[in-house]
Amino acid sequence: MLLAGIDLVEIQRIKKSMRNPRFLLRILGPSEYAQLELRGFPVQSVAASFSAKEAFSKALGTGLHGFSLREVELLRAENGRPSFKLSGNALQIAQERKIVFQVSVTHTKVYASAVVIGEGPENAGT
């Protein structure tokens, strides 16, 4: 079974949220935070991370319930390829449902977007 989630976020909305110093600590997991900190927390990348978490929740079918945003980390390889590092309840749900996720993100000056595809057995979405 294939599961899909997509999200689009206005970068200006994330920029406004970033004025609160707790925002980044609330939404970013430790590895994700460290990667973005090295780059100076570019707002487009933070927005892409947030969008990826929203898209993940849609593909998983839970909405933003049952796990923390920090448990879904969007990491970037040296070549820029994005991937998820799951932990806590997010990892537990994915493992119980036997779902493997792929993610793609993009942004412009105005929007950031993410598409998440989950693949698992026929009953993966339940």
The residues carrying an active-site annotation are 58, 107
- The 3-class secondary structure across 38-95, one letter per residue, is HCCCCHHHHHHHHHHHHHHHHHHCCCCCCCCHHHEEEEECCCCCEEEEECHHHHHHHH
Q: Which amino acid is at 35?
A: Q
Instruction: Give dist(CA 11, CA 46) in Å, integer.
Output: 9
Contact 15, 112 (CB under 8 A): no
